[in-house]
Structure 1
């Protein structure tokens, strides 16, 4: 049996107004921002940890590391170019085209490298492929969140 004072206290807590975090129009939620950063950290960390523990030569590890860095940079660059065009910020066609080409090349280099890697078992190939794709997607999402947050705060 509970005390009536405890019941009243619980009711007051439930009816108390919740503190709402003020968010600007168009700004991503803190949870979405956190999930994007978590996906980026998890993807890159898993990829790098896999490379560190891999039984491959240092030059091969360097190849896969360079592809990751190239893929992350090209994906962020493409997201920025696409967003700039959408917002009416001038973007040259050559930069826009190079951004697309760089991302496509990074994905192709990863696919070709994994396809031709005889020292890597199929499950590791899948691991590297998925960690790479997760990292690229997360980098694009983090860049979009940064841009959306910046834009929402400028409008105010």
Structure 2
């Protein structure tokens, strides 16, 4: 077997197309992970909103589900920040920490109760809304974490 280092064709190709290394600080998420997180948020929120726009519901029902999504996204990001701050020794009042947990639990409960009691939505649509809601919350938490990790990594170096 011959080694690729002895092959002149490989050497020429390496010179023509050198590998590009992206500078990343220690502890900073990769570009691919950041991109995947943003893509998950865009897909989750877009799917939810497109489904809501096309749904055969009264406008007040659509408003309810929209408000629950916005409330859930805010609650998830707020809780992630509060938990991270506590872990890093940054002061977080117990009332804010408690309210953050409460808000996330309430938003998830409102979604579950709303979908359970929605007589005009078939079961597959309920699953669609539930899954796009959960995907959106998870992606929002991940993006908040990525932003925080990037900030900490850049401040460190």
Offset of residue 8 of structure 1: 4.1
The aligned residue for residue 68 of structure 1 is 69
Q: What are the ranges of 5 or more consecutive residues in structure 2 without an aligned counterpart?
A: 1-6
Offset of residue 17 of structure 1: 4.5
Q: Distance in 1 between matches of 2:52 and 2:20?
A: 45
Q: Under a length normalisation based on structure 2, what TM-score does the superposition of the two structures give? A: 0.92
Q: Distance in 1 between matches of 2:60 and 2:148?
A: 36
Q: What are the ranges of 5 or more consecutive residues in structure 1 without an aligned counterpart?
A: 1-6
The aligned residue for residue 12 of structure 2 is 12
Q: Does 1:86 align with 2:87?
A: yes
The aligned residue for residue 127 of structure 2 is 126
Offset of residue 129 of structure 1: 0.1
Q: Under a length normalisation based on structure 1, what TM-score does the superposition of the two structures give? A: 0.92
Within 5 Å, which residues of 2 pair with 1:3-152? 8-14=8-14, 17-152=18-153
SS at 2:56's partner residue? coil
Q: Distance in 1 between matches of 2:18 and 2:62?
A: 54
Offset of residue 11 of structure 1: 3.6
SS at 1:103's partner residue? helix
